[in-house]
Amino acid sequence: MNHFKLIAARGLLACLAAVAATTCLAGNRAQPSLLADHQSYASATHLHTYHYTLTNPAGSAAPLDTLVVKLEPGVDVVTNFRAPPGWRALYSSEKGTVMWAATGYIDPNAETPDGDIPPSDYALAPGASLAGFSFDSFSPPGTGVAITQNYAPLYALQGDEDQEALEANPEFSRLPEDNGYRLATVVPVPDTDWSGNRRPSVDGFLVFANVQDKASFQGSALIVFRLASAGETVHAATLKAYLNGADVTTNFAWSDVYKGYTATFALGTSPLKAGSNVLRTSVNGIVPGTTDHVATDTDRVSFELVP
């Protein structure tokens, strides 16, 4: 890739990430598009996979090169991002977005006749559809919003006044929220229906992320929990976990993927058994609102394993 195109490609990603909104100006990118979705569920991990297929209608005036899925605060774990060839997946937990951008070029030196950067060779042409956009989450499906953008050439600024006028016009922004086409779709939504031990002051010491009482796993069981879910002071060294009466505390280790303490139990190599299982946990912490009142959060979840 030549130096100019490399800078432009980096600039596109920066704009899409809302890092340099005022320096990346283009024409109207909010052209109609179509988005199909479907979900799958892994019974061994309780992860939902969200799949999307993007269509650029035949009457579109430009290739489609950006897809954004908006996430609400509280969505639990977003991971395993997948993108079609030539596209790149970008996730921002702060902005609550999963974004895909077509950034690949077959010929890294290609330019338009006027010397501008052309759309990615992998951008979706008018009349075409493309699958392969997906990610995983523990959170269940609900109604949400996606945003698409079509390619537009970079605008050549003619001076400071021109830049100020363009910045005031959302149709020239490269930010999807300002200059994108919005569609209703299915997204992960926050799920607060977890059960504790009915002691609200200490229930947040340990919270299960992907299992509730009477849940069911198939083949194996991935268990994820978090400590100090509301910012409490928790003494992690006091953590104890027992599966069917056997101490499995050391099976749990921190996972950056699942943002919690994680263990996978399998038949024959752990206390896990076919049928009914019971997991008990306990951990000490400081009761919120006090400085030295130590209490114990104890939890019990029963779950079924289908071999």
Q: Which of 188, 219, 240 is the last residue of a domain?
A: 188
In a domain, 42, yes or no: yes
254 and 286 part of one domain = yes
Residue 143, domain CATH: 2.60.40.1170
- Distance, CA of 261 to CA of 30 (rounded, Å): 42
CB atoms within 10 A of CB 150: 27
Question: Which of these, 66, 82, 102, lies nearest to 175 by C-alpha position?
Answer: 66
Give all strands (DSSP E) within 151-258, no chain letters.
181-188, 206-208, 215-218, 220-227, 234-243, 246-247, 253-255
52 and 160 part of one domain = yes
pTM of the shown model: 0.78
Q: How far is CA 143 from CA 8, 78, 138, 185, in A?
A: 35, 17, 16, 6
In a domain, 194, yes or no: no
Q: Which amino acid is at 179?
A: N
Residue 240, domain CATH: 2.60.40.10
99 and 159 part of one domain = yes
Question: Which of these, 36, 85, 34, lies nearest to 64 by C-alpha position?
Answer: 34
Q: Which amino acid is at 1?
A: M
Number of residues in the chain: 307
CB atoms within 10 A of CB 18: 18
148 and 279 part of one domain = no
Q: Which of 156, 188, 220 is the last residue of a domain?
A: 188
In a domain, 85, yes or no: yes
Report pLDDT for 168: 63
Name the residue range of residue 89's domain. 3-188
Q: In what order do the strands lie in the sheet with 206-208?
A: 206-208, 220-227, 260-266, 253-255
167 and 220 part of one domain = no
111 and 250 part of one domain = no
- Split into its structural domains, the chain has a count of 2
**What tens-digit pLDDT sequence spans the chain (307 residues)?**
443 344 344 444 444 443 333 333 445 788 899 999 999 999 999 999 999 999 999 999 899 999 999 998 888 789 999 999 999 999 998 899 999 999 988 877 776 666 667 889 999 999 999 999 999 999 999 999 999 999 987 655 555 655 565 556 656 666 788 789 999 999 999 875 444 444 567 888 999 989 988 899 999 999 999 999 888 999 999 999 999 999 999 999 999 989 899 999 999 999 999 999 999 999 999 999 999 999 999 999 999 999 9
54 and 115 part of one domain = yes
253 and 139 part of one domain = no
